[in-house]
Amino acid sequence: MGKLIVFNFLSLNGYYKGDGGDISWHRHGGEEAEFSKENAQAGGTIVFGRVTYEMMAGFWPTADAAKAFPEVAKGMNESQKIVFSRTLKKATWQNTRIISDNIIDEMRNLKEKSGKDMAILGSGSIVSQFATEGLIDEFQFMIDPVALNSGTPVLKDIPQKIDLTLVKSRVFKSGTVLLCYEPMKK
């Protein structure tokens, strides 16, 4: 059975994106880029909601991405991708499958049938839905040393408390901190 992992970078005050979807505040320094490269080569499936998918599909297949982040771009483009969307009808980014209905049941089936891990990038709405249903096996939060005046919080509108246990951490030279949590067993 594959694991479902959330990877999001966050501001100190818990936003995963600023106003208008701004993510320019995230530190993409040498160590962080190396970490991204290692994760992009892991060979799992990448999972998105529509908004994050459209943003990523607008960057990673470009020449600019290949020039700036060659290994990450290669990994992102070659990876299998799933986008959960009721409105997206066609995916132009290679290796992408769209799932439009019954996303909770579909994710349960994907986890049971897949031997590979799946990573959700960004995609706050599906993160909240899957977390509420207990489908997420690990939360990886890269905390940037910045506070935003407004934005979109991670795990917005969850109906119940979700207790987590810290299983791994890493401090980057930039001051960015990676915190990895698993949901507590009930």
Query: CB count, 10 Å around CB of 63?
Result: 8
pLDDT, position 41: 57
pLDDT band at 40 (very low <50, low <70, confident <90, very high): low
Could you tell me if residue 184 is inside a domain?
no
Could you tell me if residue 185 is inside a domain?
no
Could you tell me if residue 162 is inside a domain?
yes
Beta strands in the chain (DSSP E): 4-10, 15-18, 45-49, 80-84, 96-99, 118-121, 138-143, 151-153, 164-171, 177-183
**What is the domain range of residue 17?**
4-175
Task: Check if the beta carbon of residue 115 is closer than 8 Å to that of residue 1.
Answer: yes
Backbone angles phi, psi at 7, to 5 degrees: -125, 120
Q: Say how many domains are in the chain.
A: 1
Residue listed under structure tokens 């990573």:
119
Name the 3-class secondary structure at 22: coil
- Give the model confidence (pLDDT) of 75-92 as tens digits: 899 999 999 999 999 999
The pTM score is: 0.90
pLDDT at residue 45 tops 60 = yes
- Give the model confidence (pLDDT) of 137-177 as tens digits: 999 999 999 999 999 998 988 899 999 999 999 999 989 99
Specify the CATH number for the domain of residue 124: 3.40.430.10
Mean per-residue pLDDT of the chain: 90
- Give the model confidence (pLDDT) of 107-116 as tens digits: 999 999 887 8
What are the structure tokens assigned to 41, written together? Answer: 């080569």
Lowest mean pLDDT among 21-30, 59-68, 72-81: 21-30
pLDDT band at 13 (very low <50, low <70, confident <90, very high): very high
Convert 78-97 to b/e letters by CB count within 10 Å (16 or more is b). ebbbbbbbeebeebebeebe
Could you tell me if residue 97 is inside a domain?
yes
